[in-house]
Amino acid sequence: MSLASFARTARIASSASARRTFTSTSLNRFHSSPVTMGVKQLKNKTEFDAAISGTDKLVVVDAFAEWCGPCKAIAPKVHAWSEEHTDVDFVKFDVDESPDVAQELGIRAMPTFLFFKNGQKITEVVGVNPPALEAAIKNNK
């Protein structure tokens, strides 16, 4: 669809007949990728406990801080892994918003990635190290 054609369509989109032409089938062209969970943000210890103990899948926990530059740098890669490895749960929590969880886990640097299976911590990776993170994901599924 050309830009001019799109603009004409947008101008008439308020009419009832135009609204009927945009079926879910035509909208699917804009959203052809499957829906994925991505990385779930945990807000408190209760959510953290449920995330690591409620599954037998590998759970990757990203302990981050909003002000942390390296955390922001690795975030897109973590999101990409969450879409690639759909058999792994990816969660994250802000150490400043959940200091009790950070203290319980002994978080001393950000980002810290902890790997849990059946509620038990199996390994961790501290810092931005994509090869080590990817290896930990693949080796612990």
What's the CATH fold of domain 39-139? Glutaredoxin (3.40.30)
- pLDDT at 20 exceeding the cut of 90: no
CA angle, 37 as apex, 31 and 41 as ends, to 5°? 130
What average pLDDT does this structure show over 40-59?
95
Is residue 95 within 8 A of residue 110, CB to CB? The reply is yes
User: Read out DSSP for 79-91?
Assistant: HHHHHH-TTEEEE
- Confidence at residue 37, expressed as pLDDT on a 0 to 100 scale: 66
- Confidence at residue 54, expressed as pLDDT on a 0 to 100 scale: 78
- pLDDT at 52 exceeding the cut of 50: yes
User: Read out DSSP for 29-42?
Assistant: TT--SPP---EEEE
CA 85 from centre of chain: 11
- Confidence at residue 34, expressed as pLDDT on a 0 to 100 scale: 46
What average pLDDT does this structure show over 6-18?
43
Is residue 87 within 8 A of residue 140, CB to CB? The reply is no
Residue 71 CA to residue 64 CA, distance in Å, equals 6
Q: Where along the chain do its domains lie?
A: 1-32, 39-139
Residues designated catalytic: 68, 71
Confidence class for position 27, pLDDT limits 50, 70, 90 = very low
- pLDDT at 74 exceeding the cut of 80: yes
Q: What pLDDT, in 10s, does the model give residues 36-48?
A: 469 999 999 999 9
Q: Provide the edge-to-edge strand list for the sheet that holds 39-42.
A: 39-42, 88-94, 58-64, 112-117, 120-126
